[in-house]
Amino acid sequence: GCMQLLQVVLNNSELELTAPQVTGLWEGFSSGTREDVDMFFQWLHESCPVDYGGHAAVTTYYGAPAAASTSATVKTDTCMTEEALEHVFLDLVGAQYDMKTLTEIGYEAIEKLFRYINGKGKNLLYSSHATNYQVASSVLIGFDVLMKVYLLSRDTSIVEKVSNFLITLQVKLSPA
């Protein structure tokens, strides 16, 4: 449908959505059914390729340009401006969405945005792939969003995932 067309256009062009454009999409989908919201989260997760998908030999921070030798196989840019990414994560999903109704795909999109935004800010330092990282700062952008998921989600598998992620963040925190 329309989201697949938007995904194809954004992934095959230099176009990036701005915060007001993403707000319009969010308002349209979030006012619909749970399936509509999941469609937005699915689009957000799939069309904004903000992780390295486990590619080896990349020593960088999450969201940074990949090494020249792997740049042909790794798309690190996103379908939104940096401002729009933070806006959708903090202001739209983080502040407005009822986490009680969050589904697996919604959580996956939230965690992906958290990792990306904190990688760009060098709060999370990645080496080789997305699971090998160090937490460089105890002040993480959107940590409150993860806590909101943990405290409000009614889905036990999501609570377990976010709990494990929060524990991992603590364990990987670098000594100051």
Query: Which pLDDT score, from 0 to 100, does residue 40 have?
Result: 92
Q: What is the pTM of this model?
A: 0.81
d(CA 1, CA 163): 35
Average per-residue pLDDT in the chain?
Answer: 80
**Tens of pLDDT, residues 83-110:** 898 999 999 999 999 999 999 999 999 9
pLDDT of 79 reads 80
Torsion of CA 149, 154, 158, 164, to 10 degrees: 70
Task: Identify which of 156, 23, 163 has the alpha carbon closest to the alpha carbon of residue 96.
Answer: 23
Residues of the chain with pLDDT under 50: 51-76
Taking residue 35's Cβ as centre, other Cβ atoms within 10 Å add up to 10
> What gap in Å lies between CA 142 and CA 111, rounded to an integer?
10
Q: What is the structure's pLDDT at 11?
A: 72
